[in-house]
Amino acid sequence: MRHARGKARVILGAIVGLAIVIGVIAIRAHAPVQEGSAPGRAPARWPAVPSTRGLPAAPDVEIAMYQGEAAVGGSKIRLSQLWAKRKPVVLNYFAGLCPPCRKELPDFQRLYTGSAQDTFTLIGVDVGSFVGLGSRDDGRALLRELKITFPAGTIVSADGFRRYGILGMPTTVFITANGKILRRYTGMLTRDQMNTFIGELLKVSGAGDEPRRDDDPRRGRRP
């Protein structure tokens, strides 16, 4: 009898342990991916603010603008033109047929109509035609429908998002004033996260302790 009870306890313990493992896996599978990490990989380790030392240089890609040409300096720009102004840059990768993007863009618009446009450059980057989530017309239509007025455009080749390690939609990349990637977030951002990450970006960019090197091999490299 005692042997039977002991065996039952072992089986029950195994079932409970398996349930806990399954629960942890489910939570991780649905958690937003942050700071450049893909599901199943260890998250990237970023230096504590305000230092930019050790941060990776942001690839210098070309963007064809849909709107906001006056704010960024042309109908087709390279990101290095913005870094030359010593102003932080936030790239929000979206797609015209991406439901989470549709929910997130209005919050970026609210941020932009505040003091954002005076402290950093925000650019929406439509990659729908490269990831199977709509055409460029769909991207433009979404901006019109949501009354998005901040600068937005598209990349000229798929290399423009591959070099940034884009793994899903939406993805937001926070780039310091000297052209370093501070944070890459995959998934829909909340307003609190936007404020926190941008505050961190402005703090790091204000430190200015390590200018981008002109001899960086990725600077000026064509996508």
The answer to whether position 71 is within a domain reads: yes
The answer to whether position 198 is within a domain reads: yes
The answer to whether position 48 is within a domain reads: no
Helix-, strand-, coil-residue percentages of the chain, each rounded to 5:
40, 15, 40
Q: What is the pLDDT of residue 30?
A: 34
Q: Which domain holds residue 11?
A: 1-31
CA–CA distances in Å: residue 57 to residues 69, 70, 175, 177: 25, 26, 9, 11
| Domain CATH number, residue 124 | 3.40.30.10
Q: What is the pLDDT of residue 35?
A: 56
Q: What is the pLDDT of residue 4?
A: 52
* One domain, residues 90 and 164: yes
Count of domains for the chain: 2
* One domain, residues 17 and 82: no
Q: What is the pLDDT of residues 62-76, one digit of tens each?
A: 999 999 999 999 999
For residue 130, give both structure tokens: 């490269």
Low-confidence ranges of the chain (pLDDT < 70): 1-51, 115-116, 207-223
* One domain, residues 7 and 80: no
Distance CA 218, CA 89 (A): 17
Q: Is the pTM of this model over 0.75?
A: no
